[in-house]
């Protein structure tokens, strides 16, 4: 069981919006603005999509946005495209000795 | 553009030591703004942070692996390395190296990953 909880799968049709949640505790997601999100296509390395809860690295589409409320962070993808189909992982700093946590990953299917 | 490239044996026998190196190009490891991390992903499973190192040699390890791992850095060669001893089949995974923003705890550049299989 992963330290950060994500839904196993989400799906949406092209053009729609979807949201992926990432639930932790006050020692990680809720206590710090150090949540990041990664996109991973099969056989590829993860790619940073969001850092610091809501910041997009240069080159990442503005269709990707991040937010946080309490102990739950969220990644929203608007205007779904076929190329968005991938696994998405959240990550957070934690004040425990583990230091860095990942979520269990969410498989996004574009119908 | 920073690039990272993992290298090392793809097959390790049980109880032996897994050794990997990550070569960094397009930027210097000697940089106050970044740590350098190892992350692994068993086949079909989640990502697991292993640990990171600063150019000074300061390290922070995942407590679940701390007794078996050593991460080192060679700034003259602009690379850093991972050693994981007493491996078992549970250590079979794709191992990634990644650049980590200091104080912000996100991984902005990743290597392509290398599969290490533990088997006799």
Q: Which of A103, A72, A100, A106 is nearest to A88 (CA)?
A: A106
**Residues composing chain A:** 111
pLDDT digits (tens, 9 = 90+) for B43-52: 988 899 999 9
Provide the percentage of residues in chain B whose pLDDT is more than 90.
94
The rounded Cα B65 to chain-centroid distance in angstroms is 12
pLDDT of residue B38: 98
Distance of alpha carbon B66 from its chain centroid, rounded? 13
Q: Assign A3 a pLDDT band (cuts: 50, 70, 90).
A: confident
DSSP B103: T
Please state, in angstroms and rounded to a whole number, the distance separating the CA atoms of residues B55 and B72. Answer: 9
Nearest beta carbon to residue B110 from set A45, A100, A104: A45
| Cβ-defined contact of A102 to B46 (cutoff 8 Å) | yes
**Considering only CB atoms, which chain A residues are within 8 Å of B53?**
none
Residue B105: pLDDT band with limits 50, 70, 90: very high
Contact B107, A48 (CB under 8 A): yes
Q: pLDDT band for position A1 (50/70/90)?
A: low
Kindly tell me if the per-residue pLDDT of B68 is higher than 80. yes
**Which of B11, B53, B56 is closest to B36 using CA atoms?**
B53
pLDDT of residue A27: 93
Nearest-neighbour CA in chain A from B65: distance (Å): 10
């Amino acid at each position: 069981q992963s330290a950060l909880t994500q839904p196993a799968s989400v799906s949406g049709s092209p053009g729609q919006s979807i949201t992926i949640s990432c639930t932790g505790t006050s020692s990680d997601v809720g206590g710090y603005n150090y949540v990041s999100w990664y996109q991973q296509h099969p056989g590829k390395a993860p790619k940073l999509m969001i850092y610091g809860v809501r910041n997009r690295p240069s080159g990442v589409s503005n269709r990707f946005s991040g937010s946080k409320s309490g102990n739950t962070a969220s990644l929203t993808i608007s205007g779904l495209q076929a190329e968005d189909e991938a696994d998405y992982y959240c990550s957070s700093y934690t004040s425990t000795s583990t230091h860095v946590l990942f979520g269990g990953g969410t498989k996004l299917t574009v119908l | 553009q920073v690039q990272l490239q993992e290298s090392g044996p793809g097959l390790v026998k049980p109880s032996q030591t897994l050794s990997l190196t990550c070569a960094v190009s397009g930027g210097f490891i000697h940089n106050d703004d970044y740590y350098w991390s190892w992350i692994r992903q068993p086949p079909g499973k989640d990502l697991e942070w292993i640990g990171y190192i600063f150019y000074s040699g300061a390290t922070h390890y995942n407590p679940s692996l701390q007794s078996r791992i050593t991460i080192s850095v060679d700034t003259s060669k602009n690379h850093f390395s991972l050693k994981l001893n007493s491996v078992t089949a549970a250590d079979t995974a794709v191992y990634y190296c990644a650049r980590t923003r200091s104080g912000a705890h996100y991984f902005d550049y990743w290597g392509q990953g290398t599969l290490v299989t533990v088997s006799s």
